[in-house]
Structure 1
Amino acid sequence: MSILPILLIGLKVTVQATFFGFLLALVMGLVLAILRSVRFKIVSWPAWFVIEFLRDTPLLVQLFFLFYVLPLYGFSLPALAIGIIGLGAQYSAYCAEVYRGGIEAIGRGQWEAARALDLDRLTIYRDIVLPQAIPRIIPSLGTYLVSMIKDAPLLSAISVLDMVAASNIIGDQTFNYLIPLSMVGAIFLLTTVIVSYLVHRLDSALPKTGIPMK
């Protein structure tokens, strides 16, 4: 039996789950961060609760809830879609805090100057805040991307056929778990090293004074 092609199929699933899950985390995290920074408590407190709930409950429990409980109420999705949503939701809480740190690092004088020019909140975030905040938070976001890659094997618990699930199937058929699991570990190591290098290159390339958003 040729092991590598089977594991590479599992790697494709892992990459899909991580890529789309991280995109969801970036978008959802930004929304939560902005809502968290609103001065009205009726808006900021629910956002704070969602962030704390997602961050302080285990990812595996969230995946089980989405996969086993929601179908009882008519919300049924494919296992991979559930995994993407679970990964994205969990890491959106961490990304929200990273965004919030970057946003709060913007000098108060810039906020006051923008308001003095009668700029709306969307324009302030789009043209002033985010172009300066994003370059500062790239390393932290990259760290969470690597963590998400390493958490992706948890999706095998809800029947997603990723690399870990594929290696277990190979082990069951060959009665030899050492080789497939060792190969999975090596692939994960290589993948995270490549991603870390790309994040470092991106961080080095972005101007620290801000990036144009138009």
Structure 2
Amino acid sequence: MKWNWDVARDFLPHLGKGLLVTLEVTALGSVLAFTLGLVWALALRSPARWVRWPVAAVVEFVRNTPLLVQLFFFYYVLPNWDITFSALTTGVIALGLHYSTYTAEVYRAGIDGVPKGQWEAAIALSLSRGRTWFAVILPQAIRRVVPALGNYVISMLKDSPLIALIGVSEMLQKARAESASSFQYIEAYTMVGIAFILIAYPASVLMRALERRLGH
């Protein structure tokens, strides 16, 4: 099958619309993953077992089940309990929740990397527990883990085509629709692959540069 420039040109506007949806899902999913991940990380360090143990169970369960299964559960099973979201919202929630269990581990490593003397200094200054966390510990911990969090954003971007399976019109879904109508498959899918490379590769280079800069 030969490359057809007319088909590629006709698909380009659809690719742009799908790209915007992909970036929207990735951005919103990342915000959710970073926020929930920090909540999980702080809860896992709670002195109260009734907080720590249930959170640990949820994190392990989500981390050890496939993202696709979670996506289908949210979209097809929850409506049976009158909990309904749009396909786009479902995709954001599934991606954000899934990756929050990994970012929680990243935050944990960052918190553990803060020198013990910082904790002792906060105690010596009689800082409250909340002020110790949010004014002393977390600013240092988050600075250490920014590159790792960025890598998970890239991973989330590459997993975003899974939401096409519940009908979200992101790049892959647009390519499937275009291929079904024109019976030309090579152009649409190739352009989607190139789009992912053009986004993910510069982002990965930026993350490596950021890691080196923060490392100094």
Does TM-score exceed 0.5, indicating one fold? yes
Unaligned 5+ segments in structure 2 are: 1-6
CA shift, 1:108, in A, is 2.1
CA shift, 1:17, in A, is 0.3
Residue 22 of structure 2 corresponds to residue 14 of structure 1: yes
1:196 to 197, 204, 212: 204
- Greater shift, 196-205 or 19-28, is seen at 196-205
3-state SS in 1 of match to 2:120: helix
Unaligned 5+ segments in structure 1 are: 209-214
Residue number in structure 1 paired with 2:36: 28
Distance 1:194 1:75 in 2: 39
Residue 68 of structure 2 corresponds to residue 67 of structure 1: no
Distance 1:20 1:126 in 2: 23
3-state SS in 2 of match to 1:151: helix
Residue number in structure 2 paired with 1:148: 156
Counterpart contact for 1:59–1:90, Cα < 8 Å: yes
Counterpart contact for 1:55–1:93, Cα < 8 Å: yes
Distance 1:173 1:40 in 2: 58
3-state SS in 1 of match to 2:84: coil
**Amino-acid identity (%):** 44
1:142-183 CA distance string (max 9 Å, x none): 111110000000001111111001101111111111111011
2:64 to 32, 36, 56: 56
Counterpart contact for 2:154–2:204, Cα < 8 Å: yes
2:110 to 97, 102, 116: 102
CA shift, 1:40, in A, is 2.3
CA shift, 1:120, in A, is 1.9
Distance 2:100 2:162 in 1: 17
- Greater shift, 127-136 or 94-103, is seen at 127-136
Partner amino acid, structure 2, of 1:139: P
Distance 1:87 1:171 in 2: 26
Counterpart contact for 1:135–1:207, Cα < 8 Å: no
Residue 144 of structure 2 corresponds to residue 136 of structure 1: yes
2:98 to 83, 90, 104: 90
| Equivalenced residues, count | 208
Distance 1:198 1:10 in 2: 24
RMSD of aligned Cα (Å): 1.5
TM-score normalised per structure 2: 0.91
CA shift, 1:203, in A, is 4.1
Counterpart contact for 2:18–2:174, Cα < 8 Å: yes
CA shift, 1:71, in A, is 1.0
Partner amino acid, structure 2, of 1:143: N
Distance 2:89 2:176 in 1: 22
1:63-93 CA distance string (max 9 Å, x none): 1110011111111111000100000000000
